[in-house]
Amino acid sequence: MAERVHITTAIFYCNAPPHVGSAYEALAADAFARSRRRRLGRANVSFLTGTDEHGDKIRRAAQAEGVPPREFTDRTSAVFRRAWDGLNVAYDYFVRTTDPEHEKFVQQMLERSHARGDIYFKDYEGLYCIGCERFYTEKELLPGGICPSHNRPVERISEGNYFLRIDKYRAQVLEHIQRNPDFIRPERYRNEALNMLAEPLGDLCISRPKSRLEWGIELPFDHNYVTYVWYDAFWAYVSAPASRDPNFISEVFATTEHFIGKDILKTHAVYWPPMLLSAGLPLFRHLDVHGWVNFGGQRMSKSSGNVADPVSYEAAFGPDVLRYFLLREVVYGLDGDFSEQRLIERYNADLANDLGNFTSRVLSMAARYFGGELTCDPVLEGEPDDAALADVMSGLEERVDAQVQELAFNRGLEAIWQALDVANKYIVQTAPFTLAKDQAKLPRVAQILANLTESLRVVAAALEPFMPVTSRRILDLLQVDETAAAAPYGRGLKQGHKVKPATPLFPRIDRKAG
């Protein structure tokens, strides 16, 4: 059986529009998915994202705008979908937790756990944060009963609810993490999860009484209650593909790569695995945890108000610029800082100068000296400079892919830019613009340009997971189809191939950030 992989972002809570921080997760997962498709084939990779639409926080946000929750989530979910489409996030599934197939699937999972005796009812009093939509223990809170995520007081709530026995599965989950060192990555988050699971767990409250909250999925065994929003949202990773593919759970789900932020590590490392095991499902392959994208040193979040609209950057700077900046600038797993000024600096130095100028110079020389036609094949050896160029370009995409599989998106891009640096130096070292002044040296100029156009093809192909629009533009200028784009260095562009004239890819920005 061919290797499969299922990739998910977190299911984004749609109480407010997306920001650059949430876009980072979608773009990282998209780059991972694109890289896997290039290796495994599109049919063997599925990529899922979507919106989490139930719960008290949604109800209150809708009330604040004077509209019903469904109308509010219809509008906000559409904003997320347009944003991801505008950023060229190539998902296969966009799941809404209000989708009928999702609601039906959640009820089926509840029935499974209930039938196994893993769900029980009890009266409960606890400390509840509306922002997190979860109960806290006193030791989890800051002094004064303050929620550590939202920095505001929790509420004391007393009511009867249904609970899922998650401590029943704690030892099994703990053993799985210990036996699979890369189950949670990077390693720092694995260690955090092990600490969380080191002591007995309180069982998970998975319901809310309709007397307090009706906006949710009704429990199939008690019509007076709805499902807790976190229990509901997890199943979005599974519901749509499982509803459409009867073999998804048995053959695909165990290959899942969950991309999430560090703020929801506990829910995914402590709650989600017992939920799966209780319902008789396998565990996933990896939990891929990223840090926060900060804005001026502070976490970018909806509640703080320091959000930056990702689509506005796409409109202002052009396709792929925000993607490039975030994936190059932020080390996956660590916090990063976003600023428009830094984005402009990266744009000018890396995109306008390195990539844009290289593309323009190669295509302009090809047009000027040979009418855009290659008059010889690129070579792997030849002169020492030719061999050095071939050495760095050969296997570039494989080296980049290896970095992506380890979530080192920045290192993958660094490898491409190192190859670009060699190619730009190759132009200086071989000086084709000087050689072309001597008619007798045109055959050497032809060889140099064949090597350069082939290098540009390899760079464009390697860029596709990170900068899909730019990659397509360069390959179009080279008049290369998908088959030729995927060829090893030296086997793509051949004698007689014609390329298009140069067009500016990244016009330089000569202004300060506004």
SS3 of 14-53: the string is CCCCCCHHHHHHHHHHHHHHHHHHHHHCHHHEEEEEEEEC
CB neighbours of residue 46 within 10 Å: 24
Length of the chain: 514
Cβ atoms of 395 and 409 within 8 Å: the answer is no
Mean pLDDT calculated for residue range 455-482: 97
Integer angstrom CA distances of residue 326 from 57, 281, 313, 339, 508: 29, 35, 12, 10, 19
- pLDDT, position 514: 47
Domain 340-485 has CATH 1.20.1440.60: no
Among candidates 411, 507, 391, which has minimal Cα distance to 455?
Answer: 391
**Paired tokens of 499:** 């390329």
Three-state secondary structure call for residue 381: coil
Domain with CATH 3.40.50.620 in the chain: 5-317
- pLDDT tens by residue, 406-415: 999 999 999 9
Q: Cβ–Cβ contacts within 10 Å for residue 226, how many?
A: 22
| Residue 69 phi, psi dihedral angles, 5° rounding | -55, -40
What's this model's pTM, rounded to 2 decimal places?
0.92
pLDDT band at 297, cuts 50/70/90? low
Q: Which two tokens stand for residue 245?
A: 């593919």
Task: Count the helix, strand and coil residues of the chain and give each as a percent rounded to the nearest 5.
Answer: 50, 15, 30
Lowest mean pLDDT among 208-212, 270-274, 400-404: 208-212
Is the pLDDT reported for residue 512 higher than 80? no
Nearest-angstrom CA–CA distance, 120 and 162: 5
pLDDT at 383 exceeding the cut of 60 = yes
**Does the pLDDT at position 115 exceed 70?**
yes
State both tokens at 235.
């199943």
**Architecture category of domain 5-317 in CATH:** 3-Layer(aba) Sandwich (3.40)
pLDDT in tens, 51-62: 999 988 899 899
How far, in Å, are 143, 178, 189, 284 from residue 196 at the CA level? 20, 13, 10, 19
Q: What is the mean pLDDT of residues 93-109?
A: 97
Strand partners, 498: 373
Statement: residue 213 has pLDDT above 70: yes
- Mean pLDDT for the stretch of residues 288-304: 72
Residue 354 above 80 pLDDT? yes
Return the number of other C-beta atoms located less than 10 Å from residue 449's C-beta. 27
Rounded CA gap, 225 and 163, in Å? 12
Q: Which two tokens stand for residue 190?
A: 């694995």
DSSP state of 216: S
Q: CB of 489 within 8 A of CB of 386?
A: no
Strand partners, 163: 120, 205
**Residue 334 gets which letter from DSSP?**
S
One-letter amino acid of 19: H
Listed in order, the ranges of the chain carrying CATH 1.10.730.10 are 340-485
Query: From residue 245, how far is each of 242, 251, 272 by CA, in Å?
Result: 5, 10, 22
pLDDT the model gives residue 21: 87
